[in-house]
């Protein structure tokens, strides 16, 4: 990611989504993210933020991962920059799936090897492979 602060990170990640899904309102997504973030920062773990929002007209549930090598000033709870952002967007109708996704992500984030492993990934395929690897580990341990 090139973003230096939270607002820029929202813009950058939502633009990635919008490039592939131009029919979904970019401004609606950004408004929903800002509204959720105004309640409490989603920079909840050291180096990690999990912004999420429900949007009434959104198609299903989507996750986008952003990695910042330099760190993003995110107003996180610990006051430190974040390097990994897991953006999760969902429709109101998919609330249960969004909550399950957030819960599963929290299990992954509890693995001390997960964060450094994703930071080492250099491209989208590597990120996907690492995420899949840790998903497999989680699935076999449950």
- 4 vs 77: which has the higher pLDDT: 4
Q: Could you tell me whether strands 61-72 and 82-90 are parallel, antiparallel, or unpaired per DSSP bridges?
A: antiparallel
Closest CA to 13 of 53, 47, 45: 53
Which pLDDT band, with edges at 50, 70 and 90, does 78 fall under? confident
Question: Reduced to 3 states, what is the DSSP secondary structure of residue 86?
Answer: strand
Residue 49, Cβ neighbours under 10 Å: how many? 27
Q: What are residue 52's DSSP bridge partners?
A: 88
Average pLDDT over residues 17-42: 90
Task: Give the integer Cα–Cα distance in Å for 137 and 104.
Answer: 12
Write down the pLDDT at residue 142: 62
- pTM of the predicted model, to two decimals? 0.89
Domains and CATH numbers, the chain: 6-141 (3.40.930.10)
31-60 pLDDT per residue, tens: 999 999 999 888 888 999 999 998 888 888
Question: Reduced to 3 states, what is the DSSP secondary structure of residue 84?
Answer: strand
Which pLDDT band, with edges at 50, 70 and 90, does 135 fall under? confident
Tell me the percentage of the chain whose pLDDT exceeds 90: 44
Which pLDDT band, with edges at 50, 70 and 90, does 9 fall under? very high
Helix axes of 6-20 and 26-39: crossing angle, nearest 10 degrees = 150
Which pLDDT band, with edges at 50, 70 and 90, does 134 fall under? confident
Average pLDDT over residues 71-93: 90
Question: What stretches of 1-142 adopt beta strand conformation (E)?
Answer: 48-49, 52-54, 61-72, 82-90
């Amino acid at each position: 990611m090139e973003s230096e602060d939270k607002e820029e990170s929202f813009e950058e990640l939502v633009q990635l989504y919008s490039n592939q899904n131009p029919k979904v309102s970019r401004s609606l997504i950004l408004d929903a993210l800002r509204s959720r973030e105004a309640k409490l920062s989603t920079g909840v773990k050291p180096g990690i933020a999990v912004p999420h929002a429900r949007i009434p007209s959104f198609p299903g549930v989507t996750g986008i991962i952003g990695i910042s090598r330099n760190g993003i000033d995110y107003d996180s709870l610990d006051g430190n920059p974040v390097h990994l952002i897991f953006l999760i967007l969902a429709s109101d109708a998919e609330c249960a799936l969004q909550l399950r996704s957030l819960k599963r992500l929290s299990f992954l984030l509890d693995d001390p090897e997960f964060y450094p492993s994703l930071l080492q990934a250099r491209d989208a395929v590597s990120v996907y492979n690492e995420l899949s690897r840790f998903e497999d580990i989680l699935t076999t341990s449950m």
